[in-house]
Amino acid sequence: MLHRAIELENSVDLWISDDDIKDYKLSAEDWKELKDFHKCLETFSEIEVLLQAHNYPTLWMCIASYNNFFVAVDDLCTIYHNLHLKAGFIKLEKYYEVTNDCPASFSATVLCTKYKLDYFIKNGFKNEIVIIKRT
Protein backbone atom coordinates (compact mmCIF):
# COMPACT_ATOMS: atom_id res chain seq x y z
CA MET A 1 0.00 0.00 0.00
CA LEU A 2 2.81 2.38 0.88
CA HIS A 3 4.63 1.56 -2.33
CA ARG A 4 1.52 2.39 -4.35
CA ALA A 5 0.89 5.64 -2.44
CA ILE A 6 4.45 6.77 -3.18
CA GLU A 7 4.03 5.90 -6.86
CA LEU A 8 0.88 8.01 -6.92
CA GLU A 9 2.20 10.85 -4.74
CA ASN A 10 0.88 13.60 -7.06
CA SER A 11 -2.54 11.99 -7.30
CA VAL A 12 -2.72 11.53 -3.53
CA ASP A 13 -1.80 15.19 -3.00
CA LEU A 14 -4.46 16.23 -5.49
CA TRP A 15 -7.08 14.04 -3.83
CA ILE A 16 -6.19 15.34 -0.35
CA SER A 17 -6.44 18.94 -1.56
CA ASP A 18 -10.23 18.50 -1.52
CA ASP A 19 -11.78 20.91 1.00
CA ASP A 20 -13.26 18.11 3.12
CA ILE A 21 -9.93 16.44 3.87
CA LYS A 22 -7.31 19.15 3.30
CA ASP A 23 -6.34 18.94 6.99
CA TYR A 24 -4.67 15.62 6.16
CA LYS A 25 -2.37 17.01 3.45
CA LEU A 26 1.11 15.56 3.57
CA SER A 27 4.05 17.92 3.58
CA ALA A 28 7.25 17.33 1.62
CA GLU A 29 8.84 16.18 4.91
CA ASP A 30 5.97 13.71 5.44
CA TRP A 31 6.52 12.24 1.98
CA LYS A 32 10.27 11.96 2.62
CA GLU A 33 9.60 10.13 5.88
CA LEU A 34 7.18 7.76 4.14
CA LYS A 35 9.75 7.05 1.43
CA ASP A 36 12.42 6.35 4.05
CA PHE A 37 10.03 4.08 5.94
CA HIS A 38 9.21 2.28 2.69
CA LYS A 39 12.91 1.59 2.09
CA CYS A 40 13.16 0.10 5.56
CA LEU A 41 10.19 -2.17 4.97
CA GLU A 42 11.49 -3.31 1.57
CA THR A 43 14.37 -5.16 3.19
CA PHE A 44 12.03 -7.17 5.38
CA SER A 45 9.61 -7.78 2.53
CA GLU A 46 12.29 -9.24 0.26
CA ILE A 47 13.39 -11.80 2.83
CA GLU A 48 9.81 -12.57 3.86
CA VAL A 49 8.77 -13.22 0.26
CA LEU A 50 11.83 -15.42 -0.25
CA LEU A 51 10.95 -17.54 2.78
CA GLN A 52 7.29 -17.84 1.76
CA ALA A 53 8.07 -18.88 -1.80
CA HIS A 54 9.18 -22.39 -0.95
CA ASN A 55 7.20 -25.60 -0.90
CA TYR A 56 9.67 -27.26 1.45
CA PRO A 57 11.12 -26.43 4.89
CA THR A 58 13.24 -23.29 5.08
CA LEU A 59 14.79 -23.76 8.51
CA TRP A 60 18.21 -23.88 6.86
CA MET A 61 17.68 -20.20 5.90
CA CYS A 62 17.02 -19.08 9.47
CA ILE A 63 20.52 -18.01 10.48
CA ALA A 64 21.36 -16.47 7.11
CA SER A 65 18.07 -14.55 7.13
CA TYR A 66 18.72 -13.17 10.59
CA ASN A 67 22.19 -12.10 9.53
CA ASN A 68 20.79 -10.37 6.43
CA PHE A 69 18.26 -8.59 8.66
CA PHE A 70 21.01 -7.47 11.03
CA VAL A 71 23.13 -6.03 8.23
CA ALA A 72 20.16 -4.31 6.60
CA VAL A 73 18.78 -2.80 9.82
CA ASP A 74 22.23 -1.70 10.95
CA ASP A 75 22.80 0.03 7.61
CA LEU A 76 19.38 1.67 7.79
CA CYS A 77 20.06 2.84 11.37
CA THR A 78 23.21 4.62 10.24
CA ILE A 79 21.38 6.28 7.35
CA TYR A 80 18.10 7.27 8.99
CA HIS A 81 18.88 7.52 12.73
CA ASN A 82 15.38 6.34 13.53
CA LEU A 83 14.54 5.24 17.08
CA HIS A 84 12.01 2.72 15.77
CA LEU A 85 14.71 1.06 13.68
CA LYS A 86 16.96 0.84 16.72
CA ALA A 87 14.12 -0.70 18.73
CA GLY A 88 13.55 -3.16 15.88
CA PHE A 89 17.23 -4.05 15.90
CA ILE A 90 17.10 -4.76 19.64
CA LYS A 91 13.98 -6.92 19.20
CA LEU A 92 15.67 -8.79 16.35
CA GLU A 93 18.66 -9.52 18.60
CA LYS A 94 16.31 -10.94 21.22
CA TYR A 95 14.74 -13.35 18.72
CA TYR A 96 18.14 -14.26 17.31
CA GLU A 97 19.34 -15.29 20.77
CA VAL A 98 16.53 -17.87 20.82
CA THR A 99 18.17 -19.60 17.84
CA ASN A 100 21.19 -20.29 20.06
CA ASP A 101 18.96 -22.43 22.28
CA CYS A 102 17.72 -24.42 19.30
CA PRO A 103 20.39 -26.59 17.69
CA ALA A 104 17.95 -27.43 14.87
CA SER A 105 18.68 -24.17 13.03
CA PHE A 106 22.44 -24.83 13.13
CA SER A 107 21.96 -28.46 12.14
CA ALA A 108 19.65 -27.54 9.27
CA THR A 109 22.21 -25.03 7.98
CA VAL A 110 25.04 -27.56 8.17
CA LEU A 111 22.95 -30.23 6.48
CA CYS A 112 21.91 -27.88 3.68
CA THR A 113 23.86 -28.66 0.52
CA LYS A 114 24.11 -24.93 -0.24
CA TYR A 115 25.72 -23.84 3.04
CA LYS A 116 27.13 -26.78 4.97
CA LEU A 117 29.70 -25.77 7.60
CA ASP A 118 31.20 -23.25 5.16
CA TYR A 119 28.52 -20.70 6.07
CA PHE A 120 29.72 -20.56 9.67
CA ILE A 121 33.39 -20.54 8.75
CA LYS A 122 33.02 -17.73 6.19
CA ASN A 123 30.94 -15.60 8.55
CA GLY A 124 33.14 -16.00 11.64
CA PHE A 125 30.83 -18.11 13.81
CA LYS A 126 33.55 -19.90 15.75
CA ASN A 127 31.38 -20.52 18.86
CA GLU A 128 28.62 -22.06 16.77
CA ILE A 129 31.07 -24.43 15.09
CA VAL A 130 32.29 -25.63 18.50
CA ILE A 131 28.69 -26.25 19.62
CA ILE A 132 27.93 -28.19 16.42
CA LYS A 133 31.06 -30.33 16.75
CA ARG A 134 30.14 -31.19 20.36
CA THR A 135 26.59 -32.32 19.58
What's residue 54's pLDDT? 65
Global pTM reads: 0.61
Residues 6+ apart with CB under 8 A from 12: 5, 26
What's residue 68's pLDDT? 82
User: In whole angstroms, what is the distance from residue 25 CA to residue 38 CA?
Assistant: 19
DSSP, residue by residue, 1-21? -HHHHHHTHHHHHHHHTSTTT
What's residue 7's pLDDT? 93
| pLDDT mean by block of 10 residues, the chain; 135 residues | 90 78 80 83 80 74 82 81 79 82 80 78 69 52
User: In whole angstroms, what is the distance from residue 114 CA to residue 63 CA?
Assistant: 13
**What's the angle, vertex CA 94, arms to CA 58 and CA 75, rounded to 5?**
80
The torsion angles phi and psi of 63, rounded to 5 degrees, stand at: -65, -45
What's residue 12's pLDDT? 86
Q: Domain coordinates of the chain in residue numbers?
A: 1-43, 54-135
| Residues 109/119, Cβ–Cβ less than 8 Å | yes
What's residue 20's pLDDT? 67
Residues 6+ apart with CB under 8 A from 13: 25, 26
